[in-house]
Amino acid sequence: MTVEENLVKIKERVVAATVRSGRKPETVTLIGVSKKQSVEKIIAAYKTGFKVFGENYAQEGRDKQKIILEEYNIQDINWHFIGSLQKNKVKYVVGKYDFVHSLDSLSLINEFEKQCERREIESQKVLIEVNTSGELSKGGFNESELLSVVENTINKKFVKLEGLMTMPPPVEGESVRKYFIKLRELLEKVNSEFNINLKHLSMGMSGDFEIAIEEGATFVRVGTAIFGQRQY
């Protein structure tokens, strides 16, 4: 199937999942995860009116953004950075993405703050990554760390905290639901504790995004189900 055909089907499934959970379709943003996919596939999706793409690698994302701007003169894509990031790569990301989903250390949060000030970037919307499974191999803050991290982040001048993100373990079917429930409950706890109104939950990928939507996801990250197998 083509990218265009896949997009139609995924969008239909997103809408169906929102209806099942009593939500409006516009409360969920579908992110087309374009990491290791060609610029041509991004353009194919864009031509259908789809404008939200997610990249995982700082330099790959930088290069794609440059090509799309210079060769196609496309300026209205909403880019999301969703991958792990080293401090020395923040310079490729800050101010170039509408949202950064994967802040997983205080040093990284502080580096974004520093780079925003240095580059005169008014604000950078971010999500804090939470390790909801407790796996040592997973990135993100543990539940016990979250409140202190949020307290630190909401006091930043340039970094603007918008919500939480998680990457659950590779389990099948209903087994994944508990991790999405946990993230939603943690967001509710954070909002109550600090009397704030963070709105975003980034959770759910190609194999489980419908369950994530049922549990409150506002961003779902879908790659292979839209673009097919990665090309490089």
pLDDT value at residue 231: 75
pLDDT digits (tens, 9 = 90+) for 181-231: 999 999 999 999 999 999 999 999 999 999 999 999 999 999 999 999 887
Task: Give me the residues of the chain with pLDDT under 50, please.
Answer: none
pLDDT value at residue 136: 77
| 8 Å CB contact between 180 and 216 | yes
Domain range summary for the chain, segments of one domain joined by +: 3-227
pLDDT value at residue 4: 97
Residue from 167, 206, 223 nearest 36 by CA: 223
DSSP result, 151-195: HHHHT-SSEEEEEEEE---S--GGGGHHHHHHHHHHHHHHHHHHT
Give this prediction's pTM.
0.96
pLDDT value at residue 5: 97
Residue from 51, 55, 38 nearest 7 by CA: 51
| 8 Å CB contact between 200 and 163 | yes
Q: Give the H or E element holding residue 145.
A: helix 143-154
Alpha-carbon gap, residue 29 to 217, rounded angstroms: 9
Residues with Cβ within 8 Å of 51's Cβ and at least 6 positions away in sequence, in order, are: 76, 77, 78
Handedness of CA 84, 56, 137, 161 (dihedral sign): positive
- Quick one: CATH architecture of 3-227? Alpha-Beta Barrel (3.20)
pLDDT value at residue 12: 98
3-state secondary structure of 32: strand
